[in-house]
Structure 1
Amino acid sequence: MKSLQDALYNWLTIKIVSDARKEDQSALETEEMFHSILMDEHGLTDLQIEKDDEMYYLHYNYQNASRSTRFPRELIEVMLKQMQAEPEKYINYPVDE
């Protein structure tokens, strides 16, 4: 994934889903994949999330400098809200062991 901004957006969106759906193995694996992209491909460290009533703020180190970016909560939480509104479309299948 070439764009750092896209990678941050994708990671945060699925992170919110995986945090809300702890039993969702697919969400967890997807979050881990995007986290790995941020760390391995983009070289981010010390990634932290903060939020208020309107925004999510991401704080991280990139190229030896502290950086931050923000995303509207409405944009980040749209996937989770859709899953909550129509749970029958987002069934969490058990993991085969």
Structure 2
Amino acid sequence: MKSLHDALYNWLTIKTVYDARPDDTAAKETKELFDGILADEYHVTNIEVTKDDMMYYISYHHEDETKKTRFPREYIEVTLNQINQNPERYQNYPTEE
């Protein structure tokens, strides 16, 4: 990731997909990847997400302080909206154990 801001954006985008589709193995694996990037590369902890009609708000701990950022809902939810509009393109293929 080029920046913490990019990592948070990507993490939140896939988190919204995973929250809506908890059985989606690709969403789960991708969210876990970004969880690791935020923790290992950026040392981010204590992430909290809230939203209103217009924005997603993220509060997190980084470099010994609490920080905040926000993203427009229309940007964060674009992937989820694409999946919902074309579910046949985004079928879940569970991993075989």
How far apart, CA to CA, are the structure 1 residues paired with 2:6 and 2:14?
12
Higher relative contact order (CA 8 A, sep 6+): 2
Match of 1:55 in 2: 55
Shift of 1:84: 0.2
Match of 1:94 in 2: 94
Unaligned runs of 5+ in 2: none
Moved over 2 A (4+): none
Unaligned runs of 5+ in 1: none
Residue 61 of structure 2 aligns with an amino acid whose one-letter code is N
Shift of 1:95: 2.0
Aligned length: 97
Residue aligned with 2:35, SS: helix
Match of 1:27 in 2: 27
Report the identity percentage: 56
Match of 1:68 in 2: 68
Shift of 1:2: 3.1
After TM superposition, the score normalised by the length of structure 1 is 0.96
